Each structure stands twice: as structure tokens, then as C-alpha cells.
Structure 1
């Protein structure tokens, strides 16, 4: 499973943060590793550098073997909250899809 993190110009893509988020994603989706080929994370600040409520957006796209990619979005006040919320959502979505695949 390849994990790629992209940020817009207003969010710093520090190597330490990237490594931390990559490890969070890998840990959360570890049991689906054989089904997921690639994860792409897109972080952006909706209103630029100005402070705002829920202005950090995290989009996670998961590419599953033999299926169309799925994508979810989560917005929060900070990058950490946006990413962790998005991880929870993508984990639930992947669990649902894999579960349905295994039932058939």
C-alpha cells in the first residue's frame, strides 16, 4: 500500500508531520493492506491563511484492487483533527466495501 500526502501552499508539509500521518493511516488500514493499492491524502486550508472554524479540509482517496477509487472528505479546525477524522471515515468505508465483497 502506497501512501502519498499532498498539501496546498498554505499548509506546511513538514517531513515529520508526513511521517506521523503516514504511520496513522498505515496502522488504521493495516488489515486491509492486501486490498488497498494506494492512498492519497489532500490537505488544504479552505480560506487561506486566515483563521476560521472547520477551515482545514482533508480528502482521502483509497484505491482498492479491482474497484473504483473511493474518496471521503473531513473538515476540522486543525490539520490533526481533519486527518484523524478522515482516517475514521475512510476506515469505515473500506470495511463496508470489503465486507460486502467477502459476502458475495
Structure 2
């Protein structure tokens, strides 16, 4: 899983920030590693150092063979914005991948369906 960190509006793109973000995302999103090809991180400070909820983190996860998922979170600090966006991304991935699993499950045959066929056949021959 590739992680790309972009910064803008008053945030210096430091190597330490990239290493920390990559380590944190690899740790928290490790269970989705096989489904994800890349995660893009966009950090901005709209207040340019002033107080307020103007630090924003946008995370975009690229799923293998599916449309990307993007989430945003604003916070008082970059840490708050980044961690909040990560929580939202986990929920979005769980929801999306859960729907895919359920959809694939519906396409398969179940034991219950196979067990009903002989009973229907027995009722028709009477």
C-alpha cells in the first residue's frame, strides 16, 4: 500500500510528517492492506496558524478495482484532523467492503436453498 502525503496553505511538507503518517496509516489500516493500492493524504491549514477548526485532512483511499473513497475532517490541530479523518476512512472502508462482501455472498448458493429444492420436488410428484 503506497501512501502519498501532500501539504498546502502554510504547512511544511517535512519528511518526518510523511514517515509518521505512513507508519500510522499502515498500522491502523493494515487489515485493509490487500484491498488498497494507495492512500493520498492532503493536509491544509486554512487559518494559517490562527485558532479554530481550520486544519483539514482529506484522505483518499484507492481500492483495487473499485472507485476511490474520500473523507474529510476538520480539527483544531493537524493531529486532530488527521486522526479524525482516519476514523472516518475506516468506517467508510468497512461499509464499502462489507457491502461488496454481502453482494458477493448473495450470488453464491446457500445450504438452505439447496435443501429446499428436494422438498419442492417431492411435493410436485405427489
**TM-score by shorter chain over 0.5:** yes
* Partner residue, 1:6: 6
Structure having the higher helix fraction is 2
Q: CA deviation at 1:50?
A: 4.0
Secondary structure of 2:73 counterpart: strand
Structure 2's unaligned 5+ residue stretches are: 104-126
* Partner residue, 1:44: 44
Are the counterparts in 1 of residues 73 and 82 from structure 2 also a CA contact under 8 Å? yes
The root-mean-square deviation of aligned C-alpha atoms, in Å, is 1.1
1:96 and 2:99 are equivalent in the alignment:
no
TM-score by length of 1: 0.93
User: Between Structure 1 and Structure 2, how many residues are aligned?
Assistant: 103
Q: CA deviation at 1:52?
A: 2.7
Larger radius of gyration: 2
Higher RCO, Cα 8 Å, sep 6+: 1
- Alpha-carbon separation, structure 2, partners of 1:9 and 1:96: 32
